[in-house]
Chain A
Amino acid sequence: NAGVTQTPKFRILKIGQSMTLQCAQDMNHNYMYWYRQDPGMGLKLIYYSVGAGITDKGEVPNGYNVSRSTTEDFPLRLELAAPSQTSVYFCASSSNDRDRGGYTFGSGTRLTVV
């Protein structure tokens, strides 16, 4: 019972490099989300998806892109990494019924841009 799996757990990028943060869930959830957590700032929504082929921007989408080709996978793409993107990134999924216990989160990816 894996839940939400994020890879990699840690990554150091140089300014201007690109990378993809992987996220996969095995709970057949339609809804998936990407958040970033900065110290003292809580979690900010980057992008979300309500199903395969459907994505939309959250609060802080600049510098990121997403795709949702399958129900299971929701990768987050960083193009031209900047120091401001140094953060911990969390992927989450949920069912359509929000009374069913909220989100299931992955364990996070800690990204440092130098």
Chain B
Amino acid sequence: DQQVKQNSPSLSVQEGRISILNCDYTNSMFDYFLWYKKYPAEGPTFLISISSIKDKNEDGRFTVFLNKSAKHLSLHIVPSQPGDSAVYFCAASASGGATNKLIFGTGTLLAVQP
């Protein structure tokens, strides 16, 4: 039972254009969402997060949007750069436990073409 889903295994975008990566979740108890970026042969690195009390969080070229009613979040990268080419993981957690456990999606491979 995949509680966090990334239905697009891959995405190709031209340099300078917008990249939109999508993520859906099924567990209504999730209230904190994160995006991680992963290069080959490295561990994932934290990119941006959003709490369920917000619907948007922005950090430079990266913006995460949260639609709680649709149980959907998206990561926008504007403008996209070749160095953004990586696998992007969406993750979610629920409060109420003292563990900070994250549930990860399957990832989307982003390729930014020069």
Residues of A within 8 A of B (CB): 4, 31, 33, 35, 40-45, 48, 50, 56, 58, 90, 92, 94, 96, 98-99, 101-108
9 further A-B contacts with Cβ under 8 Å, apart from A42-B89, A43-B104, A108-B42, are: A4-B43, A45-B101, A45-B103, A58-B101, A98-B100, A101-B49, A104-B46, A106-B43, A107-B43
**With known contacts A31-B100, A43-B89, A101–B46 Cβ distance under 8 A:** yes
B interface with A by C-beta (< 8 Å): 4, 6, 9, 32, 34, 36, 41-46, 49, 51, 89, 91, 93, 95, 98-107
A41 in complex: contacting residue of B42, B95, B98, B106, CB < 8 Å: B106
Q: When the two chains form their complex, are residues A90 and B44 in contact, meaning their CB atoms are under 8 A apart?
A: yes
Min distance, Cβ B54 to any Cβ of chain A, angstroms = 12
What are the residues of chain B within 8 A of A104 when measuring CB–CB?
Answer: 46
3 A-B pairs with the lowest CB-CB distances in the bound complex, closest first: A105-B43, A42-B106, A43-B104
